[in-house]
């Protein structure tokens, strides 16, 4: 992988930072994308090799074109795309507004679609490419109070499967990694929401999330990065949804 050009969205913290570090440590040149420049700079400092920091809001309709074009000018086409940027939302169905619904679709489904669409032509022409979308166990099952989030993640898994089928003979693989509850700021926000709505203590709320996974703990960002690296390294694995959830979904 030495010298391969990789792009990681949502690279400012959490899972995205761990993925960027893994790719960089393997010799890739890594473009780091997120909204917060300071967080991206911190990720860059932790990477072992060349990086470029590109602040961008991936929900901007022009973001995919602008980000890819900038990388191409400096390094050439993106060869490894990890679409990691995402967010969650929790509310009862009747309290989920149109704005909540649209925000989940824009960030978790439409943005990955645009980045995948922009990356594919160069990968197809080169006869090699790796696309990994960070989905969720919510792409596999439904749970209460996360209808908008679940719908967006089910949708992105459909995108992955269709793209994988279309690109199967081109040397380009497309996979999804589906984490459970990971020890990240996003899960911290989930804990805060549970505390606010249930009156539980933060410790009890966190323990409830840990119990959702048979291994009895949260997943680490590095464990998600392991699964991404597996997808990047294999040319025979495509169209898959790889669960990293401690055995919760079988």
Q: Which residues are identified as catalytic? A: 149
Give the C-alpha separation, 115 to 56, whole Å.
12
Sheet with 80-83, strands from edge to edge, namely 51-55, 29-34, 5-9, 80-83, 129-134, 172-179, 241-244
Residue indicated by tokens 């949260």: 218
The distance of Cα 191 from the centroid of its chain, to the nearest Å, equals 20
3-state secondary structure the chain: CCCCEEEEECCCCHHHHHHHHHHHHCCCEEEEEECCHHHHHHHHHHCCCCEEEEECCCCCCCHHHHHHHHHHHHCCCCCEEEECCCCCCCCCHHHCCHHHHHHHHHHHHHHHHHHHHHHHHHHHHHCCEEEEEECCHHHCCCCCCCHHHHHHHHHHHHHHHHHHHHHCCCCEEEEEEEECCECCHHHHHHHHHHHHHHCCCHHHHHHHHHHCCCCCCCECHHHHHHHHHHHHHCCCCCCCEEEECCCCCC
Give the C-alpha separation, 83 to 72, whole Å.
17
């Amino acid at each position: 992988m030495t010298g391969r050009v990789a792009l990681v969205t949502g690279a400012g913290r959490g899972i995205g930072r761990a993925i960027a570090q893994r790719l960089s440590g393997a010799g890739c040149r890594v473009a780091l994308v997120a909204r917060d420049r300071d967080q991206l700079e911190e990720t860059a400092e932790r990477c072992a090799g060349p990086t470029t920091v590109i602040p961008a809001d991936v929900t901007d309709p022009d973001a995919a074109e602008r980000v890819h074009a900038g990388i191409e000018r400096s390094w050439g086409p993106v060869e490894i795309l990890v679409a990691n940027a995402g967010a969650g939302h929790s509310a009862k169905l009747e309290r989920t507004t149109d704005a909540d619904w649209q925000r989940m679709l824009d960030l978790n489904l439409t943005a990955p679609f645009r980045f995948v669409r922009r990356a594919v032509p160069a990968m197809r022409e080169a006869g090699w490419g790796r696309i990994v979308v960070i989905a969720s166990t919510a792409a596999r099952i439904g749970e209460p109070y996360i209808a908008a989030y679940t719908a967006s993640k089910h949708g992105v898994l459909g995108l992955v499967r269709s793209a994988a089928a279309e690109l199967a003979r081109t040397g380009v693989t497309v996979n999804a990694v589906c984490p459970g509850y990971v020890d990240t700021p996003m899960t911290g926000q989930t804990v805060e929401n549970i505390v606010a709505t249930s009156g539980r203590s933060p410790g009890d709320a966190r323990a409830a999330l840990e119990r959702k996974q048979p291994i009895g703990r949260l997943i680490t960002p590095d464990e998600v990065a392991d699964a991404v690296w597996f997808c990047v390294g294999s040319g025979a694995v495509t169209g898959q949804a790889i669960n990293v959830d401690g055995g919760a979904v079988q």
